[in-house]
Each structure stands twice: as C-alpha cells, then as structure tokens.
Amino acid sequence: MNIFKYLFLIPFLAISQLAMTEEGHDTLFVPSVRLGVDVSGFARHLIEPESITGEITLDVEWRKSHFFVVEGGLMEVDVEKETHVYQADGYFMRIGPDFNILERNPDSPNDVLLVSLRYGYGKLEHEAPFIMLPSPYWGGRETAIPPETYQAHWLEAGIGLKTEIWRNLFLGWSLRGRLMLSDTSSPAMDPYLISGFGKSDNNTSLSLQYQIMYRLPLQ
C-alpha cells in the first residue's frame, strides 16, 4: 500500500475519531474566517524559474473543528530552450472540508491539526510556438503546436497544521496526495504542469504547501 492510499484513508479515520470525542467541548469555540496566501509557489519558482504559481485560501470554521475551505490561484509557465519554446497560462480551484483532530488547549485554542479532503479543477491554455526537429540528413526543421485548452479534475486528501504565531496570525503547512479523475489530454501535447495539480506525467502527485493566514473572529 503506497503513501497515496494512506493519505486518502487518514481523513475517514480521523473524522470517525472526531465524532466520538467532540461532544461536550464547545466552550473554546468561536466561529471564524481565515484568509491567507500559499507561499510554496513562490519558493518553487526559485528552483524552477520557468513556472510560477500564486494561490489564496479561505476557510470558515462554521462549527467546532469543522471547516469549509476554498482555494484558488493562477499558474504561468514559460520554457525557452534551443530546441523548443513552451508557454502556458491557467487557473485552478479546490473546494472541500477540513477537520481538526487536535483537542482545544486553553493556552492556544486556535491551533489546529487538520485532515483534509478536496475536489480540484484546473484549466489552462498552452502552446509550443517553436519546435526544432533535428534531422541528420536534411538539417533542422521548424514546426509548432497551436494553442490548446486543457482541463482536469482530481481528488485530494492530506494532513496539515496551522498554529497561531501572533494575535490571529497563523503559519501553516499541509501534505497532500492527489489522484487524477479525468482530463482532456490531446495526442498533440500534454501540459508541462497542470494548474493546481502538478506534473502531468503521472495520475498521482504529492505536494507540500506553506501558508500565511489571518483569522477574523465572527463574534
């Protein structure tokens, strides 16, 4: 059994445990909204300068330890080599619940250990305006692939932590496994990166995300 199977089992086991331990512990709960930005895309840009991703996130704790989460962002890829040029622009969104499995501590009541489930959707336009096909007999021949639209749907499961470092200011991380459900791959060209998912050479991917968030209590 690989790590992706474990990640998809964790939320269901944790939710069962949460349901058994939740009753009678609501005294520290305050409904809230958290807004934040994922900084892992900017860090990844330092390693892979040909791609950059910007992502924002919003979660609403509408019930103790139950969060409704929306994530969305933009992606841009620009690869320039001697043999080819590839360009892509896309957007993505993810939606789903988070469940806190950490008992509330009076000294740090807003710290949470989360298990997550997400549905993800990504769309991009990509093209290869220049491709050089080498030939040992006739020399190089130039060709191109015109703009194409690509779409993908996937599921995610994972675990993460958010801790309050100052009044209503949080740092967090999450480890996610992703499983592709369907896409619109064409025989001409697969995308270099799928917006919101990762590399397109596999139906699964693993990501580590880092977030900075600000919490707005609703009462």
pLDDT at position 50 is 94
What is the full per-residue pLDDT of the chain (219 aa) written as tens digits? 455 555 555 555 554 455 444 444 555 678 899 999 999 998 889 988 999 999 999 999 999 999 999 999 999 999 999 899 999 999 999 999 999 999 878 888 889 999 999 999 999 999 999 998 887 776 678 999 999 999 999 999 999 999 999 999 999 999 999 999 999 977 789 999 999 999 988 899 999 999 999 999 887
The confidence score (pLDDT) of residue 23 equals: 47
Which residue from 218, 219, 214 is spatially nearest to 57, judged by alpha carbons?
214
- Structural contact between residues 149 and 184, judged by C-beta atoms closer than 8 angstroms: yes
pLDDT at 105: 81
Q: Which of 122, 97, 111 is nearest to 173 (CA)?
A: 111
Asked whether 59 and 68 are in contact (CB, 8 A), the reply is yes
The partner residues of 156 in beta bridges, in order of sequence, read 118, 178
Q: What would the two tokens of residue 49 be?
A: 């300068």
Domain boundaries, the chain: 3-14+35-215
Cβ(76)–Cβ(86) below 8 Å: no
**Whole-angstrom distance, CA of residue 119 vs CA of residue 121:** 7
Predicted TM-score (pTM) of this structure:
0.85
Q: Per-residue pLDDT tens for 178-206?
A: 999 999 977 789 999 999 999 988 899 99
Task: Give the strand pairing for 51-63 and 32-38.
Answer: antiparallel
Residue located via tokens 């967090």: 172
Please give the class, per CATH, of domain 3-14+35-215.
mainly beta
CA distance 107 to 148: 53
Instruction: Give me the pLDDT at residue 19, please.
Output: 47
Q: How far apart are the first and last CA of the chain?
A: 45
Q: Is 181 helix (H, G, I), strand (E, B) or coil?
A: strand
Q: Output the six-digit token pair for 218.
A: 């609703």
